[in-house]
Amino acid sequence: MQIKDFTHEIIALLQNSPNELISSLQNQKTCDEITSFCKNEKILPTVFEILKDDIGLMPHKNKLIYIKNQYIFDFMKKLRTLIMILKKFNSENIDYVILKGLSTSCYYPSNEMRFFSDLDILVGSSDIKNSYKILKECGFRYAKDGINDSFEGSREYSRHLPEMVNDENVIIELHHRVTSPISYRKCPLANPCLENKVQFKLFNSNINLLPADLCFATVSYHGIDQFKKRTDLRYLFDLKYIRHSILLSDDDLILKYQGILSNNEVKKGLFYLNRSLQHSKSKKNKDFYLPSTNVGVKYFLSRLLLVFDQISYEKQISKKHPLILFYLLKRIFLR
């Protein structure tokens, strides 16, 4: 069943104009449709938190409050698991920083309003082996069947080891780099992230997270390089809330990362954010395609060359992949 589109209403909410959305939520059928749309966009707890003073006045408030509490429970479960892991990391002197979802959540008005499906931990290349061992000791295993019990499997062509999962269905991606080697042969963000991390106190535990400007840079990169959706609303909320915590002007922020991210992802992220904040309902959705770095003959050729690099590497580590060419082409060109 096709989910009804409420992009314009959410963009208005992003612009601090919630009246239309609040009015729509008064109707049970429309409320269910908005809930499905926001859940699909992974922004349901964000919308609930922004409208928390209004939800209590709605005729179906109990259902909405129940859903909101489920997201809070999920957040706490992931955070509890992460704290357990990081205690072991600290005891082994593993240098780490948390990326993406949890780092971004610390720049929202409240952590729980930013949904994330997994935990992303960046460690130095020399710490990958020990970090992988600790995750296994904490009950994590590779989520997909048929992956060798090794920390080497995807290091040559991916940003992280394959997804790992525990019995509580908490998913972790153990990163050894931030950017894909398809975008940048040598990761320009890994060392800055590890060297400039800051400590946040979450539920009486100190956790290494990204400072606001680096968080904006990594989110900008990830959104522009990875997402192929017409409009990624969670990406917009991320950029908005992180931007509030950055003291630099747009021009200074662009200048700071111009020499680091050569594809100008920070500039494009700012452009996309500012354009969405100025959007009016009279405009069509086509204005909301994400600016993409993935264009041009040079980029296409660099991807194609990497495919053959990966095929060569995979043949060295495994002889059980008869469909490896199809898999890698699909992964790189259609991700």
pLDDT in tens, 58-84: 777 888 888 888 998 999 999 999 999
Of 42 and 228, which is predicted with more confidence?
A: 42
CA separation for the pair 185, 109 (Å, rounded):
36
For residue 246, pLDDT beyond 50: yes
| Residue 184 banded pLDDT, cuts 50, 70, 90 | confident
The stretch 241-259 carries a mean pLDDT of 94
The stretch 177-193 carries a mean pLDDT of 89
Question: pLDDT at position 329, please?
Answer: 56
Question: pLDDT at position 155, please?
Answer: 61
Question: pLDDT at position 107, please?
Answer: 95
- The separation between CA 124 and the C-alpha centre of its own chain, rounded to angstroms, equals 20
For residue 164, pLDDT beyond 90: yes
Window from 143-152, 214-223, 291-300 with minimum mean pLDDT: 291-300
Q: Please indicate, yes or no, whether the overall pTM of this predicted structure exceeds 0.85.
A: no
| pLDDT above 90 coverage of the chain, percent | 43
| Residue 328 banded pLDDT, cuts 50, 70, 90 | low
**Max mean pLDDT range (30-34, 40-44, 210-214):** 210-214
Question: pLDDT at position 249, please?
Answer: 94
For residue 313, pLDDT beyond 60: no
| Residue 159 banded pLDDT, cuts 50, 70, 90 | confident
Of 147 and 53, which is predicted with more confidence?
A: 53
For residue 287, pLDDT beyond 70: no
Question: pLDDT at position 105, please?
Answer: 93
Q: Average pLDDT over the chain, rounded to whole?
A: 82
212, burial (CB in 10 Å: exposed 0-12, middle 13-18, buried 19+) = buried
Domains with residue ranges and CATH for the chain: 88-333 (3.30.460.40)
| Residue 307 banded pLDDT, cuts 50, 70, 90 | low
DSSP 145-194: TT--S-S-TTTTT-SBPPPEE-TT--EEEEES-SS-TTT-SS-SSHHHHH
The stretch 193-217 carries a mean pLDDT of 93
214, burial (CB in 10 Å: exposed 0-12, middle 13-18, buried 19+) = buried
For residue 188, pLDDT beyond 60: yes
308 φ, ψ (degrees, to nearest 5): -70, -35
The stretch 151-170 carries a mean pLDDT of 81
For residue 187, pLDDT beyond 50: yes
Altogether, the residues listed in the chain come to a count of 335
3-state secondary structure of 175: strand
| Residue 133 banded pLDDT, cuts 50, 70, 90 | very high
Nearest to 44 by CA among 116, 120, 106: 116
Question: pLDDT at position 166, please?
Answer: 93
81 φ, ψ (degrees, to nearest 5): -65, -45
Window from 50-59, 172-181, 184-193 with minimum mean pLDDT: 50-59
For residue 215, pLDDT beyond 50: yes
For residue 303, pLDDT beyond 60: no
